[in-house]
Amino acid sequence: MKISELLPRLQQNDSLALAKAISLVENRRKDYKRLLDGIYPLPRTALKIGITGAPGSGKSSLIEKLIAGLREQGLNLAVLAVDPSSPLSGGALLGDRLRMIQHSNDPRVFIRSIANRGHLGGLSLSTHEIVDLLQASGKDVIIIETVGVGQSEVDIVNVADVVLMVINPDSGDEIQIFKAGIIEIADIFVVNKSDLAGADNKVAEIRNYFALSDRDPLVFPTSVKEDRGIRELLAGIRRFQETEAGRIRDKAARMKASYIEKIVIERVQEAMRLDPAAAALARGEGEGNPQRAAERILELLKKGGAHDKKN
């Protein structure tokens, strides 16, 4: 399908066109940059909800319930599930579509799993680009589920308007997560599986952590098993969107800056691969000092490099 044919179909919320566009961008196929150029300016701004939490915290099951609640409101939505990929093969276990199979036949629910392409935080440049494609197709809400919890996972704040951190009552001492900085970027805390013992203690633990700060975080106990707390959580997300509109606007500026920085990094890496002299230096050939090797690479790229001179 030509870009000239793909773009209008994408912008009319054609699921097949959207899937093709995402594959084009994710795999860096020919003309993917022209496709991205064609979607700007974006016609609307979707509410982007980031969901993070340790493996086994029930993120995917919670998302299933959120999808059902959002569809009851008549919203057009998408779920982007970022799965870990092999650093060697680039392959990934894309299982979220299987777990959310009950929503797969709904034309107003688009579910896509993507590999993190070796990015430890689970958020590659293509994640930002795919979110923009989803916005261009007219989605009202975009849910981004990340790989798990870790220091680099804070990158979710550079994609989502509101970040949910999912915790279990029996998850033990969360202080290591707090130290990692994850808790600082969460806007809403979800104590999932609250049908288990210790849910109230976990809610109190989160509130106590912020007792001496100027934050009064939103904390919601939920139980997918008992279908409890989902409506309250959805209402809390909307309330955050309304009451923290200024904060979300400030965050949008930071997200754009992060997005642009990732594009620059990718373009520099691409230029290094294409230039034989720069590529050799990057492999550690001909220069024993890594600092000096990096400086020489930058000098080559500033001058256009051997590759550009030949063309």
Domain ranges of the chain: 43-243, 258-310
Of 48-57, 94-103, 245-254, 297-306, minimum mean pLDDT range: 94-103
Share of the chain above pLDDT 90, in %: 48
Residue with tokens 């909307």: 238
Average pLDDT over residues 145-150: 68
pLDDT value at 139 more than 70: yes
Distances (CA, A) of 120 to 40, 147, 156: 29, 9, 12
Q: Bin 60: left if φ > 0, else alpha if -120 < ψ < 50, else beta.
A: alpha
Q: Which residue has the higher pLDDT, 211 or 13?
A: 13
Average pLDDT over residues 54-73: 90
- Class of the 43-243 domain? alpha beta
pLDDT of residue 311: 41
Q: Which helix (H) or strand (E) is 51 found in, with range?
A: strand 47-53
Average pLDDT over residues 20-43: 91
Nearest 10 degrees: CA dihedral of 252, 176, 122, 240? Answer: -30
| Res 118: pLDDT | 45
pLDDT score of 86? 37
> pLDDT tens digit string along 192-221?
999 988 889 888 888 888 887 777 889 999
Integer CA distances (angstroms), 275 to 226, 265, 307, in order = 58, 15, 5
- What's the mean pLDDT when you consider all of the chain? 83
Compute the C-alpha angle 9/22/56, nearest 5°.
130
Q: Which of 41-45, 219-223, 300-304 has the lowest mean pLDDT?
A: 41-45
pTM for the full predicted model: 0.86
What's the confidence (pLDDT) of residue 186? 87
* pLDDT in the model for residue 121: 45
